[in-house]
Amino acid sequence: MLLLLVVSLLVTCSRAEDKEITLPRLMNISAAETFIDSAEVVIIGFFEADGGLGFKEFLAAVEEVKSLPAALCNEKEVWAKYSIDSDSISIFRKADLHQENLKPAKMEKLDKDGVVRFFSIMNIRYITEYNQVSAVGLFQSKVKVHVVLLANRGSDNYSELKDRVGALAPHYAGKMLFVQINGKDQANARALDYFNLKSGDLPRVGLYDAESDKSWLMGPGEISTERVQNFCDSFLSGELQKEKETAEPEVKSEL
C-alpha cells in the first residue's frame, strides 16, 4: 500500500515537471544570434510580457512540436535587431534565410492548433520532405527554384541519396530549395506526373522553376553530390534553360 502511494506520488511529480516547459530566454543580441544559428529552423516567442495575447497558445504549440528549438525574448535591443515592433511568434530558417512572423494581435482566431500549423507549414529544412503541409510553405517561400529528389522510400539508397543531395543545400541557401518526394506515396502521384515519371523510374533528380513554371530532369544514372551540383550550377548559369525541358504533362498541377 505504502509502495503504491510512493509510486503514484512519483508519477504525479514527473507529470507536473513534464508540463512545465521552461524555454531559454535570450538576453542580448549575441545570445539570440547563437540560438538562431544553432539549428536549421528555430522559433522565438517575442512577448513583451509573459501571459500576453498568444503566450499560452505559443507555449502549448511549442510543447507539441518538440522537434523545433524554441526560446523567449523580451529584450528590446534584440527586437530591434530582428525588426520586431509588437508581440510576435517568429520562425527563423536557414534554407532560404527567412524570418516569418506571426502576430497574435492580428489573428482573427488564435488557438494552439493554429500555431502548430504555422510551425508545420514554415518548417522548411535544407531538404524538406514534400507533403500537403510542406507544399504550402515551399510555395510561399521567396525562393522559387526547387531541386527535387524523387526516390522511393525503402529503396536501397534512399537515405544516402537524401544525404548526398541535402549536403548541397547550405551552399545554395537563399537560391534553391531542396525537396524530397517519396515516389511510393500515392499522394505524390501528381508530382511524379509533373516530371513525367513513374515510381519505377526512380530515383531521379529534377529542377522546378516556379517563376517560369518550367522543369528539367537530370539525366538518369548515379546521383552523386557532384552531378547534382553541376545540374544546379547549370541552372544558375542559364545553361540548363537552353536544354529541353520536361515534356508538358497533360494535366497541369501545382508541382
Ligand X SMILES: *[C@@H]1O[C@H](CO)[C@@H](O)[C@H](O)[C@H]1NC(C)=O
Binding ligand X (rule: CB under 6 A), the pick from 168, 203, 208, 218 is 203
27 binds ligand X (CB under 6 A): yes
DSSP β-bridge partners for residue 129 = 180
DSSP at 109: S
Integer Cα distance of 16 and 14 in angstroms: 5
Contact stretch for ligand X (CB under 6 A) within 25-33, 99-107, 124-132, 238-246? 25-33
What's the grid cell of residue 118?
504555422
Does residue 240 belong to the site contacting ligand X (CB under 6 A)? no
How many residues touch ligand X (CB under 6 A)?
9
> Could you give the string, one character per residue 77-116, with x where binding to ligand X holds by CB under 6 A and - elsewhere?
----------------------------------------
| Cell numbers representing residue 187 in the block | 499522394
Cβ proximity to ligand X, 7 vs 27, nearer residue: 27
Q: Pseudo-torsion of CA 75, 61, 101, 146, nearest 10°?
A: 130
Strand 41-46 and strand 88-93: the pairing is antiparallel
Q: How far is the CB of 142 from ligand X (least distance, A)?
A: 31
The amino acid present at 182, given as its one-letter code, is: N
Find all residues with CB under 8 Å of 116, minimum gap 6, and list them. 61, 64, 65
CB nearer to ligand X: pick between 190 and 227: 227
Packed helices 112-122 and 132-140: angle between N→C axes, nearest 10 degrees:
70
Q: Which is nearer to ligand X, 35 or 58 (CB)?
A: 35
Q: Which is nearer to ligand X, 224 or 253 (CB)?
A: 224
Q: Does 206 bind ligand X (CB under 6 A)?
A: no
The distance of closest approach from Cβ of residue 62 to ligand X in the complex, given in angstroms and rounded to an integer, is: 19
